Structure 1
Amino acid sequence: MKAWSSLLLMFGLLLAALALQGCGTTRATMQNALGEEVMLLGHDPVAYFTAGKPTYGNPALKTTLPERTYYFSSEANKRLFDANPEKYEPQYGGFCASGAAFALKLGSDPTEFEIVDGRLFIFGDVLGHEAWSIDPAWNIRHADSVWDESRDTGWRLQSLRRYAGKVDWYKSGADIRRDWAAKFPGRAMSVYDPGSMVANLFLKRPGWRAREGYGPQPVVGFVGEDACPPACPGAVSRRFGADSAVAPPPVAR
């Protein structure tokens, strides 16, 4: 009975969300004043590879692909991207790579990233980054296996669908904390408030916590739309918790 009640509740929430907010975009974008769907809060996707740092792009240097636009910090980076977009685009539409392992499309913080085997992975927040770091290969394998299912589905519809019908290998927060303790004994996970499910699923777009500076999260902003500083073209943005257990990623070679 409890299971049926939970299912009916989720179904009701799904219908309400779709009626009020729609299915959501297929990629983790924020809309600028021109109506363009911008990836990575305007960060330069190429700079992750060349500089190893989250670097704000310039709205005057942009490339638009179906359903998403990218900004670049230099003409050189724009040329690199235009010559081979697949090399530089973030995996899983820029959504949290940890959630993607469970077929969820939630969260996007351009300051939390990793580059593995030439692929750029973005995380929803420091906790998603830490959870993924427990076993990157496991997370990549599962996320790759379900990406075809979620690729062209709006983030809100896909996430609600998979909260209602979880993948067989789903892990709860408690499961992840146990895995963390086993992998990194004596090291605590970061203290971070990811916000409510209502905000993340119904009221806000992916990336809102980084953009607004939710709780102790530094304000990253949306370059071209929000104040400079911090969101200044060409500047390096600040990630949450310099003392995080996850070290900043190295420069990709």
Structure 2
Amino acid sequence: MPQYRVLRSVFIAFLLFTGGVMASAAPSSASEDPVYTGFLSNVAVGGYDPVSYFSATGPVKGLPEFKLDYKGAEWHFANAANRDAFRQHPERYAPQYGGYCAWAVAQGKTAKGDPQNWRIVNGKLYLNYNSDIQTRWEQDIPGFVEAGDRNWPRVLE
């Protein structure tokens, strides 16, 4: 039984130490990253090739061997041609609002954008949180885009 207490004490000390280290490594502000990548990843658009959304086949997963760093995130592409097209014109292919949910940004908030819930409007890619939110957003796309444009990038603060 004494061994159990020693192990428990060591475990608690470890948790306290790592918690302190993690807290000191946390950013000093609560601001969001300019590109949504999720909590445990630095890959934009869930690893999907953003250029592929503009093709006849629609979105496909990118490959790590065709990657590019842009705005602090890693972007994956299906092939070198798509990577090079993005490199030349990232504003043409990157999702609006950094890949955050377009409906949430219109509401003055942030939420993850799901690469499976997307729409191209006036040549721009928009992602939404899920299919229910996508349907809600599609009921007034011009209004939500206008509100999102007003709120972006202020919602990151």
| TM-score, normalisation: structure 2 | 0.76
Q: State the 4+ residue runs in structure 1 displaced beyond 3 angstroms.
A: 19-22
* Post-superposition offset of 1:25: 2.9
Gaps of 5+ in 1: 1-18, 154-253
Which position in structure 1 is the counterpart of 2:127?
A: 122
For 1:51-88, what per-residue CA distance to the aligned partner results, in whole angstroms no more than 9, with x for missing partners?
35221000010110131111000111111111101000
2:92 maps to 87
1:104 has 2:112 as partner: no
CA contact (8 A) 2:35 2:71 kept: no
Match of 1:61 in 2: 66
Flag the 1:52–1:146 CA change in 2: closer, same or farther, 3 A: farther
Give per-residue Cα distances to partners, 1:10-37, cap 9 Å, x unaligned. xxxxxxxxx79753433210344xxxx1
Higher share in helix: 2
Identity rate, percent = 30
Q: How does 1:157-176 map to 2 (within 5 A)?
A: none
> Counterpart of 2:117 in 1: which secondary structure?
strand
Aligned residues: 130
1:45 corresponds in structure 2 to 50
Residue 50 of structure 1, CA deviation: 1.4
Q: Deviations over 1:158-202 (max 9, x none)?
A: xxxxxxxxxxxxxxxxxxxxxxxxxxxxxxxxxxxxxxxxxxxxx
Larger Rg: 1 or 2? 2
Q: Deviations over 1:91-139 (max 9, x none)?
A: 0110110111011111221011000000000011111101101110000
- Greater RCO, 1 or 2 (C-alpha within 8 Å, sep 6+): 1
- Residue number in structure 2 paired with 1:140: 145
Within 5 Å, give how 1:181-192 maps onto structure 2. Answer: none
TM-score (norm 1): 0.48
Distance 1:61 1:85 in 2: 15
Instruction: Answer yes or no: is the 8 Å Cα contact 1:107–1:125 preserved in 2.
Output: no
Deviates more, 1:117-126 or 1:52-61: 52-61
Letter in 1 for 2:114: D
Is residue 34–residue 71 contact of structure 2 (8 Å, CA) maintained in 1? no
Instruction: Tell me whether 1:29 sits opposite 2:34 in the alignment.
Output: no
Q: How far apart in 2 are the matches of 1:148 and 1:25? A: 10
CA distance in 2, matches of 1:41, 1:107: 10
Structure 2 residue aligned with 1:169: none
Rounded Cα–Cα distance in structure 2 between residues aligned with 1:109 and 1:148 = 19
Please report the RMSD computed on the Cα atoms of aligned residues, expressed in angstroms: 1.9
Q: Distance in 1 between matches of 2:104 and 2:115?
A: 15
